[in-house]
Amino acid sequence: MTALQAKHLSLRYGHHFVFKNLSFTVEDKDFLCIVGPNGSGKSTLLKCILGEIKPSSGKILFKNGSKNHHIGYLPQNTELNPIFPASVYEIVASGALNQIGPFTPYPKAKISSVLETLQLNTLKNKSFQELSGGQRQRVLLARALVASTDILILDEPSNNLDYKSKQDFYKILKKLNQTTTILMVTHDLDHHNLIGNKILSLDPNLPFFGSTSDYVRRIHAE
């Protein structure tokens, strides 16, 4: 089943097109890596999907008419202050705020499941400021997972991680992808780290949408 579809999507500022006539489809449990040089519109595309920016033309369709507030989002730069005196559990649980209403119970079971999946149970009472960089990123990923009911969107999540932390983080994403649709912006073009099954390249000199294996063959043929 289709999770998300962009149809003839264009966005421009004045006379400058960030991207033009962009179409692609993300199926359930796809893992789409979005690549391209700085300024090619990767983060802008995510903001269109999240509804933060309205495209100049075209549209984005979600599964079963779902809205973009069903998306879990891990931004490139989080505004969460590392010295903020909040526990791991409190930060992860804050991901549920968009789902709580007068007749909607607090999703304690989902929060507990996410903490277990990301191996954060032993850290849940710790202060965020006590954690390593890799642990903090797992906590923020857990918060995005709690927020998500359909799609998980990540904007360069491994940028500030060391090599080992990045590889551990990618292993977690591969496991999550067994049940979750993921879109990830990345600058990491080492083919070993293109962990998704599909690639969307916004590089104007190398536009591409298709399988990761076809993309790797194409870039090595250039």
Asked if 179 contacts 29 with a C-beta cutoff of 8 angstroms, the reply is yes
Asked whether residue 197 falls in the same domain as residue 164, the answer is yes
Beta strands in 115-191 (DSSP E): 151-155, 181-185
- Does residue 160 sit within a domain? yes
58-79 pLDDT per residue, tens:
999 988 666 666 789 998 876 6
What is the residue-wise DSSP string for 61-122? EEGGG--GGGEEEE-SS----TTS--BHHHHHHGGGGGG-BTTB---HHHHHHHHHHTT-GG
Asked whether residue 58 falls in the same domain as residue 79, the answer is no
- Does residue 44 sit within a domain? no
Asked whether residue 79 falls in the same domain as residue 128, the answer is yes
Asked whether residue 112 falls in the same domain as residue 194, the answer is yes
- Does residue 123 sit within a domain? yes
Asked whether residue 62 falls in the same domain as residue 96, the answer is no
Residue 175's CATH number: 3.40.50.300
Query: SS3 letters for 29-49?
Result: CCEEEEECCCCCCHHHHHHHH
Asked whether residue 14 falls in the same domain as residue 123, the answer is no
Asked if 56 contacts 11 with a C-beta cutoff of 8 angstroms, the reply is yes
DSSP conformational letter for 140:
H
Dihedral over Cα of 104, 109, 112, 117: its sign = negative
What pTM was estimated for this model as a whole?
0.88
Asked whether residue 91 falls in the same domain as residue 55, the answer is no
Asked if 212 contacts 196 with a C-beta cutoff of 8 angstroms, the reply is yes
- When divided into structural domains, the chain yields a total of 2
Asked whether residue 103 falls in the same domain as residue 147, the answer is yes
Range of the domain at 86: 72-180+187-213
According to DSSP, the residues that pair with 201 across neighbouring strands are 35, 208
Instruction: From first to last of the 222 residues of the chain, give the pLDDT tens digit.
Output: 899 999 999 998 888 899 999 999 999 999 999 999 988 999 999 999 999 999 999 999 988 666 666 789 998 876 666 556 789 999 999 888 766 665 667 788 999 999 999 999 999 999 988 898 889 999 999 999 998 877 999 999 988 788 888 888 999 999 999 999 999 999 877 766 678 999 999 998 889 999 999 998 888 776
Asked whether residue 110 falls in the same domain as residue 58, the answer is no
Asked whether residue 104 falls in the same domain as residue 8, the answer is no
Asked whether residue 5 falls in the same domain as residue 111, the answer is no
Asked whether residue 14 falls in the same domain as residue 99, the answer is no
E strand or H helix at 205, and its extent? Answer: none
